[in-house]
Amino acid sequence: MDRYCVFGNPIAHSKSPEIHAAFAAQTGQDLQYERRLAPLDGFADAVRAFMAEGGKGANVTVPFKLEAVKLAQALTIRARAAGAVNTLVFSDEGIIGDNTDGAGLVADIVRNAGVTITGKRVLLLGAGGAVRGVVLPLLEHRPARLVIANRTVAKAEELVQQFAALGGEGVVAASGFGEIEGEYDIIINGTAASLSAEVPPVSPSVFASGCLALDMMYGASPTVFLQFAAGHGAQLRDGLGMLVEQAAEAFQLWRGVQPATGEVLNNLRAKL
């Protein structure tokens, strides 16, 4: 039986084993997937130990996504663009680092929410690692405009400079929260504000009629950002779909089989 795991610290809360067990059952794949608590100063050793035990691949969560970049012997384009790795593939050539977060977000928007990104005005709130990981996959869908807004504008401007070279020239722009202009079709909260029950200080005028508001965080009830967006007529999505879709992308990388995500997502939602 092939073995996979997710490394993190803390890790007990991770829903990844449940998701991958459901994918394996659905696709007839014989595998085992577990949580692994890696010491804060011992991530690389923990990965190598798992490989020595015959592990075939792993997911990486907080706080090791940057360390995983250094550990990987090769990086995919999207991992390099994100500057973070959440999926490791153990191959004959060594450790390959990938990032499936952005692909997961895009799949959730396009497939699950049924919203097209192409030609739309997209607003990304935040400029940290979560946002960095989704810019390239969003750009691949050719939005009309992608504005990265952040409290510290210089951080957003750094991202704009990086991604202009990757096909975003003239499309990607930076802004402070208070200076955002116009309405947006898709607004994505990639800040950590929801963790402290705060709303990024953006004007209600950013919400176009019938727009999609997505928070990368999730919980049993809508985040304060989604409650704010609901008050301005937005269609709402939290980060649970992104979680399931990024897992499906990793599963496909490891097994060569694309699992269906709908039922898995519905079952997880029911348990929140």
Express each pLDDT in 47-58 by its tens digit.
Answer: 999 999 999 999
CATH superfamily of 2-99+242-270: Leucine Dehydrogenase, chain A, domain 1 (3.40.50.10860)
Res 147 pLDDT > 70: yes
Q: What is the mean pLDDT of the chain?
A: 96
In this prediction, residue 251 carries a pLDDT of: 98
What are the start-end ranges of the H helices in the chain? Answer: 16-27, 43-52, 65-71, 77-82, 101-107, 129-139, 153-163, 224-230, 240-255, 262-271
In this prediction, residue 93 carries a pLDDT of: 87
User: Do 168 and 135 touch, CB atoms closer than 8 A?
Assistant: yes
Across 32-45, average pLDDT: 98
Check whether 56 is labelled as a binding-site residue: no
Q: Which residues are catalytic?
A: 65
In this prediction, residue 13 carries a pLDDT of: 95
Domain with CATH 3.40.50.720 in the chain: 102-238
pLDDT bucket at 168, cuts 50 / 70 / 90? low
The predicted-structure confidence for 172-221, as pLDDT tens digits, reads as follows 999 999 999 999 999 999 998 888 889 999 999 999 999 999 999 999 99
More confident residue, 168 or 25: 25
Q: What is the CATH number of domain 102-238?
A: 3.40.50.720
pLDDT bucket at 164, cuts 50 / 70 / 90? confident
In this prediction, residue 195 carries a pLDDT of: 84
Across 109-133, average pLDDT: 96
In this prediction, residue 170 carries a pLDDT of: 87
Across 160-177, average pLDDT: 88
Check whether 246 is labelled as a binding-site residue: yes
Q: What's the pTM?
A: 0.96
Check whether 271 is labelled as a binding-site residue: no
Check whether 216 is labelled as a binding-site residue: yes
Tell me the Ramachandran region of residue 126: left when phi exceeds 0, alpha when psi lies from -120 to 50, beta otherwise. left
| Torsion of the alpha carbons at 14, 20, 23 and 29, rounded to the nearest 10 | -170
Check whether 213 is labelled as a binding-site residue: no
Across 137-148, average pLDDT: 96
In this prediction, residue 194 carries a pLDDT of: 85
pLDDT bucket at 105, cuts 50 / 70 / 90? very high
- d(CA 245, CA 147) in angstroms, rounded, equals 24
Q: What distance lies between CA 38 and its chain's CA centroid?
A: 21
Across 89-112, average pLDDT: 97
pLDDT bucket at 34, cuts 50 / 70 / 90? very high
pLDDT bucket at 167, cuts 50 / 70 / 90? low
